[in-house]
Amino acid sequence: MSNRLELIAGFAALLAAAPAAAAPAAAWNVDAAHSTLGFRGAMNGDAFTGVFRRWSAQIAFDPKNLAGSKAVVSVDVASAATGDADRDQAMPTIDWFSAKTQPRATFTTSAFKDLGGGRYQASGDLTIRGVTKPVVLPFTLVLSGDTARMNGSLVLNRTAFGIGQGQWKTGDVVATEVTVTVALTARRAH
């Protein structure tokens, strides 16, 4: 009997010592009309920019509760647009995003870090073309009442995700480095 009581007391002590799960942070709704998810690259040495026209984000964020903060971004890769008809028609194909078999790219955060002065970084997993890699997105954040404005960017090697097959695998024509940019306005959900 005393062994049983000791076991129960030991288990209770472990539970008491275990850190409590963080409460979820406040939810935010993206203001799509005032937000962009874009990218910059280069082809034949000439820089170009583009945007994803269709994407969504579920965001729970509180600078005072980073442990309870989380974001999941889902991007319709077929919605990529640069303003160049040939490039825009090529991007959804199997050589690039392979939108028919892998229609969505996702970024799911695993942790946030406060870098001070309104600067943060979000660590998480980015999945494109079925390939998942850990990435860190540095960003700035300005909170004003129930409105949040976030700006961030990160550089990716497109070939790490299999973007650019066959003749496009190397950086001879299309640079392998692509900068992803985020300019987001969100309103606190009530």
Give the pLDDT of residue 40.
Answer: 98
Is residue 34 helix, strand or coil?
Answer: helix
User: Under a CB-based contact definition with an 8 Å cutoff, are residues 154 and 181 in contact?
Assistant: no
* For residues 107-112, average pLDDT: 98
**What is the domain class of 23-188 according to CATH?**
mainly beta
Give the pLDDT of residue 21.
Answer: 57
Give the pLDDT of residue 22.
Answer: 67
Distance (Å, whole) CA 55 – CA 92: 15
32-65 pLDDT, tens digit per residue, is: 999 999 999 999 999 999 999 999 999 999 999 9
Q: What percent of the chain has pLDDT over 70?
A: 88
Confidence band (pLDDT; 50, 70, 90) for 149?
very high
**pTM for the model:** 0.86
Burial class (CB in 10 A: 0-12, 13-18, 19+), 162: middle
Give the pLDDT of residue 128.
Answer: 98
Residue spans of the domains in the chain: they are: 23-188
Distance (Å, whole) CA 73 – CA 57: 4
Enumerate the β-bridge partners of residue 158.
none
Structure tokens at 147: 């409105």
14-33 pLDDT, tens digit per residue, is: 444 444 456 888 899 999 99
Asked whether residue 177 carries a pLDDT value surpassing 80, the answer given is yes
